[in-house]
Amino acid sequence: MLSSLDVSSVSPYAFAPYEWVVATASFSVNPGAVQNRRIVDLNRAPHDPEGFVRFDADVRILRPQNGDHGRLLVVVPNRGLTGGVPFSLDTPLAWDPAGAPHPGDAFLLERGWTIAWCGWQWDVLRDQGFLGLSAPVADVEAGWLRVEFRPDELTANRPLSDSQFFFQFADIPTADVADPDATLTVRTTPLGQKELIPRNEWRFSSPTRVELDGGFQPFHFYELVYRSSFAPVVGAGLLAVRDFTSHLRGGYDGAFAYGVSQSGRFLRQFLFDGLNIDEGDHKVFDGVFGHIASARRGEFNMRFGQPSLTHPLTPGYGPPYDTASLLTRQRELGSVPKIFFTNSAWEYWRGDGALVHQDAETGADLPEDPDARTYLLSGTDHIGAAPIKEMFPVANPVHVLDPTPVLRALLVQLEQWACDDVAPPPSRVPRRSDGSAVGRDHVVRMFKTGHLPDLAALPWTPDLDPDSERWPLEVGEPRVALVSAVGADGNEVAGVRLPEVAVPAAAYTGWNPRRHVDGLPDVLYEFVGSRLPLQSGGTPMEETAREAATRAAAAELVAGRFLLPGDLDRAVAVALRYFDA
């Protein structure tokens, strides 16, 4: 439970009649409580004289100044960042982890929502302003773990963490810098054949860094397997989010969780472990919204877990994949929330997006779970409209399709479902039954222009043991990978189609190969889609007809409750701008 909420400051919010609260939440949990028994190594953590395990987390609250209590949205920070106010348009790209988030067009604020963030990652560097957690450290013997990385440029040495790009995380030190049994391997595709690098060609330059003779080569995939005795109780982050929400929710008429990418995978772990019920047997979240989490979880509740991981395979990427199986434990305990899972085309092309709603071995469509909906946001990619992807070494031009208008319409649907029992429309995903779910090779062969990936190097989801504690991880046979079929123009036919996709100026994909490097396969670059010429060719639509067709496509989304009426004109204007790009 949350034992105290220590407020550091309460300041007026610059953009609305709200206030910004900076605080630290302290927790005291009983390792013997049935609601906590899923948390790995909690019983091995230090405890106080009463037998409770204590830890704390950074929290932030953006709440109305007038004290009104409407709905509560708890945002799971992605790698310690608050980001902007969720579901807002016109939010500028900002990089100030310690500052209050920009509201954009203040969609949630105009509706009186309270928005809260709770740190949950032990490996976030809190002294730099990121929201993190001081996890207790378990008393364990040295055991095996791995660090994987893929540099985009020649790198002399590497930290023993998933630090990359703009992010730095806490390291898990080796127990022995001279360990003769530690191994380093390299491969040229994410799941390709590994080559063992001789032990005398690499070394631990310190307990937290590794170096290789000649440096780590660009676009190669390295895996270091080594031993450590440093074991934070990673799953304490799950309890922090649970108990922080439980503490707040009594003053609100509905509590919802929202997580994007890593944070969405965290929410899948939260549901898998049956944590939507607190130590007092009270329901925590009424609704859970996981965006671009695909069918994965992560290292959010395991010994030597690295919650920051971006790319490497991990046991948490194993089953259960589909929603009904994911909810088995929560359904046995009760307090199942209403759930939305949304994914971009990229998650499907990575080889695991369809596993949320298909049989992993046969590819057959699975029945709709009564408490969940899944939606493919057609043609979009993992990063969306963020300009950062212009910097990536990709072969094709990128696009900036923004699914935010659809996402906020879906939030309203989730709110209505959880609080007013107004059911949302059925899931919109690729299905075998109607021919809209096909293999990736079929789609690639439809494209006559643009740089195409090597079919043999496409990523895929292997059969994994979700309870494995062995490294290197044993990788089994591929699970069936399905994506949306495309029309003659190259755009996806399944899912929720933005007006830009329904009346396209180009073919928008969820895949983009890395720029070609002689001697290496043309693999997909992570998270990024392509903007390619319409594959059908033909005469461009006349301007008046184009505007009418785009407005009709937006109106169809409004009728289906996938676009709010107030966002229609903007959606049309944005879509038409693509014809001038």
In this structure, are residues 276 and 284 in contact, taking their beta carbons and an 8 Å threshold?
A: yes
Q: How far apart are CA 371 and CA 380, in angstroms?
A: 25
pLDDT single digits (tens) 436-468: 999 999 999 999 999 999 999 999 999 999 999
Tokens found for residue 116:
């809260």
Q: Which residue has the tokens 């939010």?
A: 91
Model pLDDT, residue 95: 66
**Angle in degrees, CA 171, 175, 178, rounded to 5:** 110
Tell me, what DSSP letter sits at residue 441?
H
| CA proximity to 507, closest of 528, 525, 529 | 529
Helix extents (H) in 388-429: 404-420
Q: How far apart are CA 454 and CA 482, in angstroms?
A: 17
Residue 153 CB neighbours (<10 A): 10
Q: How far apart are CA 100 and CA 85, in angstroms?
A: 9
Q: How far apart are CA 521 and CA 413, in angstroms?
A: 43
Tokens found for residue 106:
């203040």
Which residue numbers in the chain have pLDDT < 70? 94-95, 165, 538-539, 581
The residues pairing with 259 across neighbouring beta strands, listed in sequence order, are: 290
Q: Which residue has the tokens 């036919």?
A: 493
| CA proximity to 453, closest of 533, 391, 394 | 394
| CA proximity to 358, closest of 350, 349, 367 | 367
User: What are the φ and ψ backbone dihedral angles of 29, each rounded to 5 degrees?
Assistant: -120, 150
Is the pTM of the predicted complex or chain greater than 0.85?
yes
Q: Give kind and range of the element (H or E) at residue 347.
A: helix 345-349
Model pLDDT, residue 165: 67
Tokens found for residue 355:
């596993």
In this structure, are residues 123 and 161 in contact, taking their beta carbons and an 8 Å threshold?
A: yes
| CA proximity to 412, closest of 114, 64, 87, 101 | 87
Read out DSSP for 472-499?
Answer: SPP--SBPP--EE-B-TTS-B-SSBPPH
| CA proximity to 336, closest of 325, 345, 328 | 328
Tokens found for residue 550:
């785009």
Q: How far apart are CA 136 and CA 154, in angstroms?
A: 36
In which order are the strands placed within the sheet that holds 209-216? 155-159, 209-216, 202-206
Model pLDDT, residue 562: 98
The SS3 assignment for 469 reads: coil
Q: How far apart are CA 191 and CA 464, in angstroms?
A: 13
What does the buried/exposed string (b/e) look like for 336-347 if buried means 16 or more CB atoms within 10 Å of the residue's CB?
A: bbbbbbbbbbbb
User: Distance between alpha carbon 366 and the CA centroid of its chain, in Å?
Assistant: 23
Q: Which residue has the tokens 């395991």?
A: 302
The SS3 assignment for 418 reads: helix
Model pLDDT, residue 542: 86
Q: In the chain, what are the domains?
A: 2-135+233-420 (3.40.50), 141-228 (2.60.40)
